[in-house]
Amino acid sequence: MPVTKISGVKIEAMTACVPANIADNMVVGGGIFSEHELKNVLKATGIEKRRVCKNDDTTALDLSLKAAENIFENTELKREDIGAVVFVTFTPDNQMPNNATLVQRQLGLGNFIPAFDINLACSGYVYGLWISSLMAYNMNKKVLFLDGEKQSHLTSKKDKSTALLMGDAGSATIISPDKNDNEWFFSFETYGEDREALYIPAGGARSPLKKEDLDYVEDEDGSSRRNIDIKMNGMDVFRFVIQKVSSNIKSTMENVGIEESEIDFFAFHQANEYMLKQISKRNKIPFSKVPISIDRYGNSSSTTVPVTICSEKKKEITEKNNRVLLSGFGGGLSIGTGIIDIDEIYCGGILEYEE
């Protein structure tokens, strides 16, 4: 498996932001599970509460902008220092144009910069970090990298496999060119043949929105959803995570020649707690080195990686040097894994967005 290397960059700042509005799964889950089932589902997935936007017109862009503004307010970073904007999302404000150009306007950044989105689901933060790092090095300029998703409007409250899982969140990360000795490594895997394990059937160009796509249709297990909602085949995604993701992490570490003991913490995409335990078990990673945020924030797709780092590791990343393994995996099906450094950066933690 190929592993790509990059050096000469650093993370300078990172902040995440979630809606202040809390969805309590004990309450929301009552409609689709029996009391006993619900208790077991919450125990296995580890998701007690989630953050979801209350208003229709709050978006991933709003959450991510608040995170970015926090960095400008609390660091020496100036608008004119930003040489590019990269936004990872599959839920942009508009189908066209992209979110990154709106960030350029909203934050008052210069006109002579590239600004574009990357469409990816759960593996997206690692991709965004990789591309932003290459750009920062190549352009010798700081890159503003935002990663945010609003999935609540694409999730059926009557779907057993997704209703208690999905959350909304935004984040901002600053990547800067830097003369240091750190070496970062990235590996990626793509299984387009399994794309329907996790996808949104209608509303794209292949199946333009029709009136009936807004109707709730019931399936075999009693769940119901619209064609514009996220549809997940639980078993297929489970198999992918347990087998492909576990072995990707093992191969990446072997190829880089790094031991578990040399990594300070493993920031995994918060798919669900049970799956993270299985990945850790298969790779002999002590679960104490796997920070968990899904219990309070839910699964916000790719944004779970910065949310987890900002909520669980703020103290560590602001006070000392850390060797960190990041891994995002899901929709595509797609895996992105990175081994990077986060050394005494500015971190604004988790902000709350009031609606």
Partner 1 sequence: MEKENIFLEKIADILECDTDTVSMDMDFREDIEDWDSLKGFSMLIMFEEDYDKKVSVNRFLECRKVKDLYEEVQS
The least CB distance from residue 48 to partner 1, in Å, is 15
The least CB distance from residue 273 to partner 1, in Å, is 10
Residue 5 interacts with partner 1 (CB under 8 A)? no
3 state SS of 85:
strand
Distance CA 38, CA 36 (A): 5
Residue 210 interacts with partner 1 (CB under 8 A)? no
Residue 235 interacts with partner 1 (CB under 8 A)? yes
The two tokens of residue 20 are 């202040």
Q: Which is nearer to partner 1, 138 or 243 (CB)?
A: 243
Residue 239 interacts with partner 1 (CB under 8 A)? yes
Distance CA 193, CA 125 (A): 22
Residue 199 interacts with partner 1 (CB under 8 A)? no
> Quick one: which of 4, 34, 40, 94 contacts partner 1 (CB under 8 A)?
40
Q: Which is nearer to partner 1, 80 or 196 (CB)?
A: 196
The least CB distance from residue 20 to partner 1, in Å, is 30
Least Cα distance to 89 among 136, 52, 122 occurs for 122
Site map (CB under 8 A) of partner 1, residues 241-260, x = contact: -xx-----------------
> Quick one: which of 14, 228, 275, 290 contacts partner 1 (CB under 8 A)?
275
The least CB distance from residue 43 to partner 1, in Å, is 6
Residue 191 interacts with partner 1 (CB under 8 A)? no
> Quick one: which of 44, 209, 214, 217 contacts partner 1 (CB under 8 A)?
44
Residue 26 interacts with partner 1 (CB under 8 A)? no
- Residue 281 CB coordination number (10 Å): 12
Site size for partner 1, by CB under 8 A? Answer: 17
Which residues does 39 contact at the CB level (< 8 Å), separation at least 6? none
State residue 281 phi and psi, 5-degree precision: -60, -45
> Quick one: which of 15, 21, 25, 45 contacts partner 1 (CB under 8 A)?
45
> Quick one: which of 227, 272, 301, 311 contacts partner 1 (CB under 8 A)?
272
Q: What is the largest CA-CA distance in the chain?
A: 58
Distance CA 276, CA 92 (A): 28
3 state SS of 161:
coil
The angle at the Cα of 119, spanning 189 to 163, to the nearest 5 degrees, equals: 90
The least CB distance from residue 35 to partner 1, in Å, is 13
Distance CA 299, CA 167 (A): 5
Distance CA 137, CA 91 (A): 28
Distance CA 231, CA 234 (A): 9
> Quick one: which of 5, 43, 105, 320 contacts partner 1 (CB under 8 A)?
43
3 state SS of 353:
strand
> Quick one: which of 26, 31, 39, 219 contacts partner 1 (CB under 8 A)?
39
Q: Give me the residues paired with residue 84 across strands.
A: 143
Residue 278 interacts with partner 1 (CB under 8 A)? yes
Which residue ranges make up the site for partner 1 (CB under 8 A)?
37, 39-41, 43-45, 234-235, 238-239, 242-243, 272, 274-275, 278
